[in-house]
């Protein structure tokens, strides 16, 4: 009897929760051509000059942001989306800059160093509320395939743009802001002392490579020969 | 007579602007580094990034530098002598007290931040001066607003310090 009395109340509660859920789904922004922005470098960033001519190759660009929606840059006001994955944009920006300076190798085999990029942040970060704070952050594994040695470096770009009231202006400012942060990160990577030092260190080892470089079977043969020589010299000494 | 009057009026209109104009681009580059913190300063990790970005923004507005470069960016050897590096340490941060701010007011319970900044020449690491910044804001405002105030104050002090140094 009691159960029958509370049944309509349960019905109302179920209806209300369903309505709330439907509202939440409706609030979730969806990408449309109107709220999607195209982010790219305005012009290639000229890389620094290296002591020796170097060719780079980008092997992989991996998203390590842990963001379930990496293309959603702003949730408010119907949302703002990127038209491509941040990894794709980052790869394009680096390749564009390296290609313009003739530092991009066609494949990994012909490259002096191979770059593996880990994107940690791409888009907007928490700002003061009066502006948009754009941040692009990634780390790069610089690897010499011949010596199998590698070094990790970091690059970070930031940009601050004014907030806006109109949706159209918000979209314009956010786009300019992320492009600014991307350009800053590219400068930080390609004109940074970290890359210069990493390349110098990795290629220095490469120049003395014939003795140091062999890997696998060649390396073990070399080691065995060395041990043999040492053994012989000890025997001779005796 | 009439042309003389026009010339005089034009001179009067132009002269104040010309005199008040700051000496532009005294230095080629300025590199702002991420500020470090002493132990016990409890600010979010994002604060350093925001302060760094805002400081670069403000340094650009001073018009003392041709270019504001990012941390760790290489500089041409020829430009190193006229390049400045800005390093800083956040020495103290007080969260503030919202209740004291609301009940007493007049700066009581304010959120405060103290930063020591050093300016050095890139080529020989010679000191170009030191700036001590102390910012106080209402605890109702967030950390980023405090970073804006601090960056503005530091950039202003840096501009004045370097201008004095340039005058000799």
d(CA A145, CA A203): 11
Number of other CB atoms surrounding residue A133 within 10 Å = 22
What is the distance of C-alpha A78 from the center of its chain?
27
Q: Are A135 and A157 in contact (CB under 8 A)?
A: yes
8 Å CB contact of B145 and A129: yes
For chain B, what is the largest distance between any 2 Cα atoms, rounded to a whole number of angstroms?
Answer: 73
For residue A125, the enclosing domain spans: 27-223
Residue A36 exposed, middle or buried by CB count within 10 Å (0-12, 13-18, 19+): middle
Q: Are A164 and A77 in contact (CB under 8 A)?
A: no
pLDDT at B108: 84
Q: Are B16 and A122 in contact (CB under 8 A)?
A: no
Q: Indicate whether A48 belongs to any domain.
A: yes
Q: Indicate whether A11 belongs to any domain.
A: no
8 Å CB contact of A191 and B73: yes
Q: Indicate whether A168 belongs to any domain.
A: yes
d(CA B148, CA B141): 11
Sign of the CA dihedral running A9, A14, A15, A17:
positive
pLDDT at A56: 94
Any idea of the CA torsion for A197, A91, A95, A117, to the nearest 10 degrees?
Answer: 20
pLDDT at A20: 60
Q: Indicate whether A8 belongs to any domain.
A: no
Tell me, yes or no, if A139 comes closer than 8 A to chain B by beta carbon. Answer: no
Q: What is the CA radius of gyration of chain A?
A: 27
d(CA A89, CA A111): 22
Q: What is the CA radius of gyration of chain B?
A: 20
> What's A94's domain CATH number?
3.40.50.10610
The correct answer on CATH 3.40.50.10610 for the domain covering B24-167 is yes
For A126-161, the pLDDT digits (tens) are 887 788 899 999 999 999 988 889 999 999 999 988
Instruction: Closest CB to A160: pick one of B46, B57, B69.
Output: B57
Predicted TM-score (pTM) above 0.80:
no
CB neighbour list of residue A149: distance below 8 Å, 6 or more residues apart: A143, A202, A205
In A45-130, at which residue ranges do the beta strands (DSSP E only) sit? 56-63, 72-74, 80-82, 113-125
8 Å CB contact of A187 and B74: no
Burial B28-43 (b: 16+ CB within 10 A, else e): bbbbbeebebeeebeb
For chain A, what is the largest distance between any 2 Cα atoms, rounded to a whole number of angstroms?
Answer: 106
Sheet arrangement for strand A131-144:
A56-63, A113-125, A131-144, A149-162
Q: Indicate whether A9 belongs to any domain.
A: no
ipTM: 0.77
Number of domains in chain A: 1
Distance in Å, alpha carbon of B139 to nearest chain A alpha carbon: 14
Chain B: residues touching A (Cβ < 8 Å) = 46, 49-50, 52-54, 56-57, 69-74, 142, 144-145, 147-148
Q: Indicate whether A14 belongs to any domain.
A: no
pLDDT at B100: 86
pLDDT at A39: 92
8 Å CB contact of B50 and A194: no
Q: Are B36 and A151 in contact (CB under 8 A)?
A: no
**Which parts of chain B have pLDDT scores under 50?**
19
Q: Are A10 and A66 in contact (CB under 8 A)?
A: no
Tell me, yes or no, if A50 comes closer than 8 A to chain B by beta carbon. Answer: no
Tell me, yes or no, if A196 comes closer than 8 A to chain B by beta carbon. Answer: yes
pLDDT at A25: 53
Tell me, yes or no, if A91 comes closer than 8 A to chain B by beta carbon. Answer: no
pLDDT at A22: 56
d(CA B110, CA B108): 5
> Domain residues of chain B, as ranges?
24-167
**Which parts of chain A have pLDDT scores under 70?**
1-4, 10, 18-26, 205-238
Identify which of B70, B127, B120 has the alpha carbon closest to the alpha carbon of residue A195: B70
Q: Indicate whether A186 belongs to any domain.
A: yes
Instruction: Closest CB to B74: pick one of A130, A158, A191.
Output: A191
pLDDT at A221: 40
d(CA B134, CA A41): 38
């Amino acid at each position: 009897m009691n159960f029958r009395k509370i049944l309509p109340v349960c019905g109302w509660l179920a209806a209300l929760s369903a309505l709330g859920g439907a509202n939440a789904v409706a609030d979730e922004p969806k990408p449309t051509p109107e709220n999607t922005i195209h982010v790219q470098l305005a012009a290639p960033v000229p890389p620094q000059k290296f002591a020796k001519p170097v060719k780079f190759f980008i092997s992989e660009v991996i998203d390590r942001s842990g963001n379930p929606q990496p293309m959603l840059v702003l949730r408010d006001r119907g949302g703002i989306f990127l038209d491509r994955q941040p990894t794709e944009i980052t790869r394009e920006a680096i390749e564009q800059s390296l290609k313009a300076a003739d530092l991009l190798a066609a494949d990994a085999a012909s490259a002096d160093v191979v770059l593996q990029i880990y994107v940690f942040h791409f888009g907007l970060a928490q700002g003061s509320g009066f502006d948009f704070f754009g941040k692009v952050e990634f780390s790069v594994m610089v690897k010499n395939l011949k010596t199998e040695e590698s070094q990790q470096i970091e690059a970070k770009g930031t940009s601050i743009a004014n907030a806006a009231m109109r949706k159209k202006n918000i979209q314009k400012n956010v786009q300019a802001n992320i492009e600014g942060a991307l350009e800053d990160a590219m400068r930080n990577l390609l004109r940074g002392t970290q890359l210069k030092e990493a390349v110098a260190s990795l290629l220095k080892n490469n120049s003395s490579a014939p003795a140091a470089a062999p890997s696998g079977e060649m390396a073990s043969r070399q080691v065995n020969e060395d041990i043999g020589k040492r053994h012989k010299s000890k025997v001779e000494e005796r | 007579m009439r042309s003389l009057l026009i010339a005089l009026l034009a001179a009067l209109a132009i002269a104040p602007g010309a005199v008040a104009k700051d000496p532009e681009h005294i230095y080629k580059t300025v590199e702002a580094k991420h500020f470090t913190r002493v132990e016990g300063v409890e600010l979010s990790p994002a604060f350093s990034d925001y302060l760094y970005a805002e400081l670069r923004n403000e340094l650009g507005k001073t018009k003392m530098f041709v270019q504001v470069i990012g941390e760790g960016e290489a500089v041409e050897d020829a430009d190193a002598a006229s390049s400045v590096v800005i390093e800083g340490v956040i020495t103290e941060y007080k969260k503030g007290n919202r209740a004291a701010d609301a009940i007493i007011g007049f700066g009581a319970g304010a959120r405060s931040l103290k930063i020591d900044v050093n300016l050095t020449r890139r080529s020989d690491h010679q000191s170009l001066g030191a700036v001590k910044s102390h910012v106080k804001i209402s605890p109702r405002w967030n950390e980023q607003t405090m970073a804006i105030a601090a960056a503005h104050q530091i950039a202003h002090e840096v501009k004045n310090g370097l201008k004095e140094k340039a005058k000799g």
